């Protein structure tokens, strides 16, 4: 475990495992880089250098007073890449809101050093329902989430993680302990960061960023994702990104990193192994 300092002075926690082709794993809301641990081990066992970090405001990173927007998030990713001295053959994998960092890094930083990208249960290209994005999530849903977090932050996430993990749905079940870990991890995050980041992934339109994906891209999404519906995100991302391939996990919910860990690990290792 180590830390680096971003251009605005925020300390970001990161960790590495293995040697070889670097693959940077970006976590989802409201968790931490630790959610990638099983995937990191699999990538390391398959000749890759797996790197995960905690987004500002989450996990072990600083609870910064500002910077919860995708321009800053992508700058933080760029600062990590610079800190590690990476300049070529980088793989990026982003889960949920982590897909947004990849999209904005590809446009804002020209995808510097990146040769392959994976969007897993990602919010890209646009979550919000609008006239030109009718499959999106209604604004009322995001407002209800915000009010729920403000009213009782801890109780909100007890309910949120049921949909997140697909409790009672047709997909692969997870243990109560897994959901408890997620709740505990969410409680370590800054409440301000959690609210601001929710607004960022709800209202940021990544459609203009899609044209900047100039590398092989793998899109993975569960068909029973109630948190980030596949119709508005995964399928549209795959259709809008040149040289993209979509893998749909039938009946799986949002948290595929936990429900089908082995399959996700294998798919990512195969993809990054083949696209160096």
Contact between residue 161 and residue 176 where contact means Cβ atoms under 8 Å apart = no
Distance set, CA 98 to CA 46, 157, 170 (Å): 23, 19, 25
The CA distance from 235 to 156, in Å, is 29
Q: How far apart are CA 60 and CA 32, in angstroms?
A: 8
Cα distance between residue 101 and residue 123, in whole Å? 10
Q: Note if 62 is an active site residue.
A: no
CB 212 within 8 A of CB 104: no
Residue 248 has, within 13 A of its CA and on its CB side, a CA count of 14
Choosing from 107, 225, 265, 267, the catalytic residue is 225
DSSP conformational letter for 22: E
Signed CA dihedral, 78, 83, 89, 95: sign only: negative
Compute the distance between CA of residue 132 and CA of residue 84 in angstroms, rounded to an integer. Answer: 40
Catalytic residue among 61, 74, 96, 265: 96
Q: Which residues pair with 13 in a beta bridge?
A: 3
Determine which one of 122, 254, 265, 267 is catalytic. Answer: 254
96 part of the active site: yes
Q: DSSP character for 117?
A: E
66 included as an active-site residue: no
Q: In this structure, what token pair is assigned to residue 41?
A: 């081990």
Residue with tokens 């690990």: 265
Tell me the Ramachandran region of residue 209: left when phi exceeds 0, alpha when psi lies from -120 to 50, beta otherwise.
alpha
For the annotated catalytic residues, the residue numbers are 96, 225, 254
């Amino acid at each position: 475990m180590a830390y680096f300092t971003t251009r605005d002075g925020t300390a970001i926690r990161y960790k590495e495992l293995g040697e070889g082709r670097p693959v940077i794993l970006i976590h989802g809301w409201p968790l931490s880089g630790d959610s990638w641990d099983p995937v990191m081990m699999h990538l390391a066992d398959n000749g890759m250098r797996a790197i995960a970090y905690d987004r500002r405001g989450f996990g072990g990173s600083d609870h910064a007073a500002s910077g919860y927007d995708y321009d800053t998030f992508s700058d933080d990713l760029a600062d990590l890449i610079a800190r590690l001295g990476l300049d070529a053959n980088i793989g990026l994998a982003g889960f949920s809101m982590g897909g947004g960092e990849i999209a904005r890094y590809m446009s804002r930083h020209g995808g510097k050093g990146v040769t392959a990208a994976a969007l897993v249960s990602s919010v890209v290209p646009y979550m919000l329902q609008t006239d030109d994005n009718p499959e999106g999530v209604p604004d009322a849903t995001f407002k209800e989430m915000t009010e729920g977090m403000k009213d009782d932050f801890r109780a909100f996430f007890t309910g949120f993680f049921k949909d997140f993990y697909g409790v009672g749905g047709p997909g692969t079940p997870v243990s109560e302990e897994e959901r408890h870990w997620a709740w505990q991890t969410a409680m370590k995050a800054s409440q301000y960061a959690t609210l601001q980041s929710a607004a960022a992934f709800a209202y940021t339109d990544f459609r203009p960023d899609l044209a900047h994906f100039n590398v092989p891209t793998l899109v993975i999404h569960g068909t029973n994702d109630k948190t980030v519906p596949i119709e508005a995100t995964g399928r549209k991302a795959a259709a809008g990104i040149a040289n993209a391939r979509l893998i749909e996990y039938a009946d799986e919910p949002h948290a595929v990193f936990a429900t089908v860990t082995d399959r996700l690990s294998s798919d990512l290792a195969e993809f990054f192994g083949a696209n160096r």
